[in-house]
């Protein structure tokens, strides 16, 4: 009887310890793997400003001068796509937690209701065009132009003719690009709808070409643009991982003009990270790499490339491919830029 009682107590103790251990392991799994991250503290007003407004300037006091109002509007416009360093940092033990893409502009009111889950803002894992700063970029340029004109009038610089509407000007220029892309000689067809995912391949030696910058600006403010830089022939493309990474970063910096604002005073066009985020500029030194990129990107509606082999390979899988002449450039002149903007 005594031995039976001792064995029973040991069994109960072992069962109790097993339950405690299981509970502790379950709590650790929930705490570090399954629980959603704490809200970052971003206020709804910041989300609204990011979505493309200058609400801070519009709600200024009635006694504020026009120059201070214009300055506030300009600073708000230039900061629409800024993401705070705190929000972009990756916290430790972030496995299983959602992270906010740096170029995502969440719909108004989303952060108040679903601040810890932004998966509903994505389409097949890709941030849609309507939720990127590029969607409202031209509207912000128009507001900035109007703010500069108001500041000039307030400074007493005299009456000037109203500035051209950048939305109308870009629409006219974009129509000319589309006429080249979708003419009968290029295969015809209807342009993809606004916001569609398109991939364009360019050569690494042509990134600073003015015509290429203009063509990509017009495409990037109308479509969800992904860029593939062909690094074939570059000596750094065959280096070690560190050299290749530095080369890719230099290409991205050159193509995005080191963060300069969109249009320059001379009427030219400049890309920046609001139009094409840096992580959407990929590098490949082979045609197989470009094919693999397109196939892994969901929802690609148009591919613009210069290689016949890439075209044949992608068309086998049902992709729509537009081929442009690979020999249309020279030096820093871009083959794609010269093709779309003769």
Which position has the higher pLDDT, 7 or 219? 219
Tokens of 218: 């017009």
* pLDDT, mean over the chain: 75
Mode of pairing for the β-strands spanning 224-230 and 300-305 = unpaired
d(CA 172, CA 87): 38
Q: What is the pLDDT of residues 269-311, one digit of tens each?
A: 889 999 999 999 999 989 999 999 999 998 999 999 999 999 9
Place of tokens 């209701």: 113
Query: Which of 48, 191, 170, 151 lies closest to 106, judged by CA?
Result: 48
Confidence class for position 87, pLDDT limits 50, 70, 90: very low
Q: What pLDDT, on the 0 to 100 scale, is given for residue 198?
A: 97
Q: What is the pLDDT of residues 7-50, one digit of tens each?
A: 667 778 888 889 998 888 888 877 776 655 544 434 333 333 33
Q: What pLDDT, on the 0 to 100 scale, is given for residue 10?
A: 76
Tokens of 149: 């004109």
Place of tokens 């230099």: 250
Q: Is the pLDDT of residue 313 over 90?
A: yes
Query: Are residues 215 and 341 in contact, defined by beta-carbon separation less than 8 angstroms?
Result: yes
Which position has the higher pLDDT, 13 or 65? 13
Percent of the chain at pLDDT > 90 equals: 37
Q: What pLDDT, on the 0 to 100 scale, is given for residue 133?
A: 93
3-state SS assignment for residue 117: coil
Q: How far is CA 15 from CA 10, 18, 21, 25, in A?
A: 9, 5, 10, 15
Q: Which residues are bridge partners to 303 per DSSP? A: 199, 321
């Amino acid at each position: 009887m005594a031995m039976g009682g001792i064995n029973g107590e040991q069994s109960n103790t072992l069962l109790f310890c097993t339950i405690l251990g299981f509970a502790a392991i379950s709590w650790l799994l929930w705490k570090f793997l399954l629980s959603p991250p704490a809200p970052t503290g971003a206020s709804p007003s910041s989300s609204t400003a990011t979505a493309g407004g200058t609400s801070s300037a519009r709600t200024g006091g009635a006694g504020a001068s026009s120059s201070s109002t214009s300055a506030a509007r300009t600073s708000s416009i230039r900061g629409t796509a800024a993401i705070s360093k705190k929000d972009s940092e990756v916290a430790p033990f972030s496995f299983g937690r959602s992270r906010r893409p740096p170029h995502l502009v969440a719909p108004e009111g989303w952060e108040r209701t679903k601040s810890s889950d932004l998966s509903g803002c994505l389409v097949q894992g890709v941030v849609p065009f309507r939720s990127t700063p590029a969607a409202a970029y031209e509207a912000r340029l128009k507001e900035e132009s109007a703010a500069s004109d108001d500041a000039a009038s307030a400074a007493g610089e005299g009456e000037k003719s109203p500035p051209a509407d950048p939305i109308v000007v870009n629409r006219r220029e974009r129509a000319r690009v589309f006429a080249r892309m979708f003419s009968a000689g290029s295969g015809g067809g209807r342009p993809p709808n606004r916001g569609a995912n398109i991939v364009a391949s360019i050569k690494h030696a042509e990134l600073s070409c003015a015509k290429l910058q203009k063509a990509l600006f017009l495409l990037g403010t109308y479509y969800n643009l992904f860029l593939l830089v062909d690094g074939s022939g570059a000596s750094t493309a065959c280096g070690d991982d560190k050299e290749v990474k530095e080369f890719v970063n230099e290409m991205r910096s050159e193509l995005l003009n080191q963060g300069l604002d969109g249009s320059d005073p001379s009427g030219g066009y400049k890309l920046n990270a609001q139009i094409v985020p840096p992580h959407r500029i990929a590098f490949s030194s082979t045609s197989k790499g470009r094919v693999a990129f397109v196939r892994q990107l969901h929802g690609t509606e148009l591919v613009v490339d210069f290689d016949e082999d890439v075209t044949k390979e992608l068309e086998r899988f049902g992709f729509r491919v537009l081929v442009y002449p690979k020999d249309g450039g020279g030096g820093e002149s871009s083959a794609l830029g010269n093709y779309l903007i003769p």
